[in-house]
Amino acid sequence: MNMLVDGEWRTDAYETTNEEGAFERQETTFRDRIEDDPDARFQPEAGRYHLYVSYACPWAHRTLVTRALKGLEDAISVSVVDPYRDEDGWQFTPEKEGCTVDHVHDADYLRELYVKADPDATCRVTVPVLWDKEKDTIVNNESKEIMRMLDTEFDEYAQRDVDLYPEGYQDEVDRIIDEIYEPINNGVYRAGFATDQGPYDEAVDDLFAALDHWDEVLADQRYLAGDRLTEADIAMFTTLVRFDNVYHTHFMCNVQYIREYDNLWPYLRDLYQTPGVAETVNMDHIKEHYYTTHPDVNPHRIVARGPDLDFEKPHDRGALPSEQPADLAAPTTDD
């Protein structure tokens, strides 16, 4: 696999599975914070920060959904990489539908930005990346932390009055984000990248036990943390929306489709239909990325056809109690 070692691009540098055939995700390296504090190195400002994303990536997708729900489109700009990632890593191919140039440096590859931020970088070159145009460096490349910063530090520039980490819910939101990470968000990768039966079985058992659990919870409450849409729902959404089209088939998570769940399927449609969210979902990029980028999993790079899901189909989740900020019921402002 590919990564930077002392600032040099290496195509044979790290293994994604350990000796037992289990997938191991590497730690993220850039972990600075934007803080609304006069002494902070990175302070919230409109126009100063830039996001590098792939529409395909569920981690990057968390940051796009947060940006959309808060109405931060004017404050935080975005560049989108090619969904197909080859030996050279994430690439900018503006000629391709849905992709853009690197608006900050006009780089050809995302790895150039990592080296600019740290000439001796030894790390994977991943999306999302939150870039500071003023200090010309990476602030952070960990989706959970970027999501939190966009949610809590930019209210002054947000066009919508939406708080996804509300008081009274914070411990629960943190707990749920951590609880769903290993079995669900990372669980689909553990299943898909396993190179032995044991680790695959374990991942699939954990995954479907967790999905069954949340399906039950969602019978009586509209959102994961209760009556409010929170960051925990964003973290769940970006895995669920990819599930039936990709993880079910490509990663062999095929015990059940999400659309067969009584509550998870309407819950997924509810989130999809929340103003601003649908525009962040690019199913063509999602399918192209997964089916063509992992030759060990799918050597012929054939993109599986189905299923044709109707995310716009009405749901009855509005009947459950909810305390929704008025701005989440409003149509999106910029279209």
> Among 92-100, 125-133, 218-226, 276-284, which window interacts with ligand GSH (CB under 6 A)?
125-133
Task: Say if residues 42 and 34 touch (Cβ distance below 8 Å).
Answer: yes
Min CB(297)–ligand GSH separation in Å: 14
Helix (H, G, I), strand (E, B) or coil at 226: strand
Confirm or reject binding of residue 127 to ligand GSH (CB under 6 A): yes
Residue 77 pairs in a beta bridge with: 50
The verdict on 123 binding ligand GSH (CB under 6 A) reads no
Using rule CB under 6 A, residue 124 touches ligand GSH: yes
CB of 208 to ligand GSH, least distance (A): 22
Catalytic residues: 57, 189
Question: Cα(53)–Cα(151) distance, rounded to whole angstroms?
Answer: 17
150 counts as binding ligand GSH under rule CB under 6 A? no
59 scored as a contact of ligand GSH (CB under 6 A)? yes
Q: Residues 66, 79, 143, 249: which binds ligand GSH (CB under 6 A)?
A: 143
Tokens 């001796």, located at residue: 120
Alpha helices in 17-164 (DSSP H): 58-70, 110-117, 143-153
| Amino acid identity, position 92 | F
128 binds ligand GSH, rule: CB under 6 A: yes
Nearest distance from C-beta of residue 52 to ligand GSH, angstroms: 10
The residue among 27 and 308 lying less far from ligand GSH, judged by its C-beta, is 27
> What is d(CA 306, CA 292) in angstroms, rounded to the nearest whole number?
16
Residue 124 or 287 having the CB closest to ligand GSH: 124
Question: Is 221 near ligand GSH (CB under 6 A)?
Answer: no
Q: Give the closest residue to 25 by CA, choosing from 151, 176, 147, 203.
A: 203
Question: Which residue from 72, 75, 99, 125 is in contact with ligand GSH, where contact means CB under 6 A?
Answer: 125
Q: Which of 73, 102, 142, 215 binds ligand GSH (CB under 6 A)?
A: 142
Q: Which run of H or E residues covers position 39?
A: none
Binding-site residue ranges for glutathione:
90, 124-127, 142-143
User: Is 294 or 332 the residue whose CB approaches ligand GSH more closely?
Assistant: 294
DSSP classification of residue 267: H
Helix (H) or strand (E) holding 140: strand 137-140
**Of 142 and 244, which CB lies nearer to ligand GSH in the complex structure?**
142
Segment near ligand GSH (CB under 6 A); pick from 38-46, 92-100, 135-143, 301-309: 135-143
**What size, in residues, is the chain?**
335
The amino acid at residue 222 is: R
- Reference 82, options 63, 71, 96; nearest CA is 96
Q: Does 131 bind ligand GSH (CB under 6 A)?
A: no
Contact call for residue 53 and ligand GSH (CB under 6 A): no
Q: Which is nearer to ligand GSH, 68 or 130 (CB)?
A: 130
If 0-12 CB within 10 Å is exposed, 13-18 middle and 19+ buried, where does residue 87 land?
exposed
State phi, psi for 178 to the nearest 5 degrees. Answer: -70, -40
Q: By CB under 6 A, is residue 28 in contact with ligand GSH?
A: yes
Q: Tell me which residue of 119, 129, 125 sits closest to 31, measured CA to CA.
A: 129
The least distance separating ligand GSH from the CB of residue 154, rounded to whole angstroms, comes to 18
The β-bridge relationship of strands 49-53 and 77-80 is parallel
Least CB distance from residue 28 to ligand GSH, whole Å?
4
Name the residue nearer to ligand GSH (CB basis): 143 or 263. Answer: 143
Strands 49-53 and 8-10, sheet pairing = unpaired
Which residues bind to ligand GSH, rule: CB under 6 A?
2, 28, 57, 59, 124-128, 141-143
